[in-house]
Structure 1
Amino acid sequence: MNVAIIPARGGSKRIPKKNIKPFCGKPMVAHAIENALASPYVDKVVVSTDDESIANVAIDYGAEVPFMRPAELADDYTGTSPVVRHALSTLLEKGWDINYCACVYATSPLLTTSLINSCYEMLMNADNTDYVFTAARFSFPIQRAILQTENGGVKPFDDFGITQRSQDLPPAFHDAGQLYWGHHKTWLDTTKRIFGANSKMVVMPDHLVQDIDTPEDWVRAELLYKLLQSENVE
C-alpha cells in the first residue's frame, strides 16, 4: 500500500494550535487529509502527532493515528525526515505492508489532489529518482541578493552575481514546503537526501504557494484559498 504521513505536532508557537485552527470552514489539517485521501495513489493517511486534540480531529476527517509521536520528536528542532522515519518504522513494526510514502504538511491547504497525483506519477516514470517534491521559482534572482551589515549598511550576498544582468542568471527554486514522495526504503535510508542529485521537483505556480508561519501569512492564505475556490483554479 501507499501511505501519506502528515506531521502535525501540537507545540506551534507563533500561531497556537495552528494545525487544528479553523481555516476557511474546517480545521487546517483537514484540508491536507481530505486532499490526500482523494488521491487514487494514497491508500491510507496517517497523522503523526503528540497532541490528543489533533489526533481526534485527524480521525474525524478520515485519517488514522495508530501511534502517538514521542516528545523527543515533537520539539522545535526536529526536522521532517526523522519524523517520517519514525512513523514508517512504527507502521512497519505493526505489520503494515508499505511501498511508497508521501509526506504532506498539515499547513498546506493550497496543495491539491492533482498535484499529489502529479508528483507520484513523476516518481513512477523517472528512473533512479529518490524523491519528488513540490517547488516554486524565486521571483527575483537570488544571486543579486543583498545583506544588511551590523552597522546598518549593505553588502552583496554574491559579489559576482550582483554585477550580472538578471536575464543572464540561471533561475533558482525553493522548496514549497508541502509534499514529498519517496519509496519507504528511501525515507529510511539516511544517506538519501530529499534535496539531492537524485530528486526531482514539480514546479508549482506562485498562486499555489504560501508559507503559513505568521498571523499575516494565515490571512493571506485564506484570501488566496477563497479566490482559488471561487475561480476553480488549480
Structure 2
Amino acid sequence: MNIAVIPARGGSKRIKHKNIKLFAGKPLITYSIDAAINSRQFDEIIVSTDSPDIAKIARECGATQIIERPANLADDFTGTTPVIQHAIKEYERLHQAVDFVCCIYATAPFLSADYLLQGINQLKQDGQKQYAFSVTTFDFPIQRAIRLAAGGVEPIDSSKMGKRSQDLEECYHDAGQFYWGRKEAFLAGAHTFAHHSIPVILPRYLVQDIDTPEDWQRAELMYKAYIEG
C-alpha cells in the first residue's frame, strides 16, 4: 500500500497562508494534490496540518485523509521527518499498514505525476535502496563560488577558479518536491542524502523554491511561461 503525505502547516511567516494562497488562480497545495492523483500511485493522499482552513481546502482539492498535527509538531523548528513519522503511525493506528510513503511538499506547483511514477518504479526495482527523491543541477559551477571577505571577495576554492566550467564536476541539489521512501526508512529516521537514495533528476525549469515573496513572483512567471505557455 502506498500513501502520500503532504505536510502543510498553517503558520507560514514570510508568505502569509502560503500553502493555500492562490497561485496562478488555484490554492498552492492543489498542485501537489493533483500531481499525486494523476500519478495513480497512491491508495491514500494524506494532508498533515494544524489548520482547519488548509484541511477544508485540501479535502475540496482531492485529499482523501486529513491528519491533525499536534502543536509540538507545528512550530517553526520542527523538521519534516517527525511530521511524516507521526502521519504514518496515525494512519496505521486508524487504518492499515503501509509499504511505501511519499512525502510531497505543498509548495511544489511544478510537480509532475511522471516524476512521481519514475521515483516509485526505480525504488521498487532496487531492493537495497531506501529513498528516491527529486534533484536538479546547479545553474553555476559551485566550485567557483566566492564569498564576501575583508570588504571585498575571495574564492571558496582558489584552485578551481581558473578551470573551465566543462572541466568541473556537475553538482546537484535537492529539488524540494517529493521524497519516496520505504516506511521503515522514514520511521527509523534514515538519512535521505546517502548512498541508499536514488536521485530523480528534474530539469531546472521545473524547480523553484517558494520561501519569499520574490520566490513566489518568480515561480508564477515561470509557471505561466513553461506550463501554461
TM-score, scaled to structure 2: 0.95
Equivalent residue for 1:214? Answer: 212
CA contact (8 A) 2:46 2:67 kept: no
Which consecutive residues of structure 2, in runs of 5 or more, have no partner in the other structure? none
Give the length in aligned residue pairs: 229
Instruction: Identify the residue that residue 195 of structure 1 maps to in structure 2.
Output: 193
Q: Is the 8 A contact 1:5 1:45 kept in 2?
A: yes
Query: AA paired with 1:12?
Result: S
- What is residue 153 of structure 2 aligned with on the other side? 154
Alpha-carbon distance, 1:2 to partner: 0.5
> Post-superposition shift, 1:167?
2.2
Deviation at 1:225, TM superposition (A): 1.4
Contact persistence 1:37–1:44 (CA under 8 A): no
Deviations 1:170-212 (A, max 9, x none): 111000000000111111112x211111111111111101111
What runs of 5+ residues in structure 1 fail to find an aligned partner? none
Structure 1 position 78, deviation (Å): 1.4
Matching residue's letter, 1:93: R
2:195 matches 1:180: no
Asked whether the equivalents of residues 49 and 66 of structure 2 are also in contact (C-alpha less than 8 Å), the reply is no
The answer on 1:144 being equivalent to 2:144 is: yes
Are the counterparts in 2 of residues 58 and 65 from structure 1 also a CA contact under 8 Å? no
Deviations 1:139-160 (A, max 9, x none): 11111111112x4222222243
**Could you say which residue in structure 2 is the equivalent of 1:120?**
120
For residue 163 of structure 1, report the CA deviation from its aligned partner: 4.5
Aligned residue identity for 1:102: C
- Please state how far the C-alpha of 1:86 moved relative to its aligned partner: 1.2
Structure 2 counterpart of 1:157, one-letter code = I
Aligned-partner Cα distance in 1 for 2:31–2:167: 40
Contact 1:3–1:44 (CA under 8 A) maintained in structure 2:
yes
Q: Deviations over 1:15-45 (max 9, x none)?
A: 0001000111211001111110121211111
1:226 maps to which residue? Answer: 224
Give the residue type in structure 2 aligned to 1:134. S
Displacement of 1:61 in angstroms is 1.1
- Distance in 2 separating the partners of 1:24 and 1:180: 25
| Cα distance between partner residues in 2 of 1:153 and 1:218 | 31
Aligned to 1:165: 164
Note the alpha carbon deviations across 1:29-74, whole angstroms, 9 max, x for none.
Answer: 0111111012121111100111111011111112134431111211
Task: Give the percent of matched residue pairs that are identical in Structure 1 and Structure 2.
Answer: 46
| Aligned counterpart, 1:45 | 45
**Higher mean C-alpha displacement, 219-228 vs 127-136:** 219-228
Whichever residue aligns with residue 30 of structure 1, its letter is T
Name the CA distance, whole Å, in 2 between partners of 1:99 and 1:130: 12
Which letter maps to 2:33?
Answer: I
> Which residue of structure 2 aligns with residue 205 of structure 1?
203
Letter in 2 for 1:156: P
State the Cα RMSD in Å: 1.4
Aligned: 1:63 with 2:68: no
1:160 is paired with a residue whose SS is helix
CA distance in 1 between partners of 2:136 and 2:58 (Å): 28
Counterpart of 1:182 in 2: which secondary structure? strand
CA distance in 2, matches of 1:27, 1:68: 20
* Matched residue SS, 2:124: helix
Give the structure 2 partner of residue 26 of structure 1. 26
Provide the C-alpha distance between the structure 2 equivalents of 1:122 and 1:162, rounded to a whole number of angstroms. Answer: 37
Q: Deviation string for 1:96-123 (max 9, x for gaps)?
A: 2211111100000101111111111111
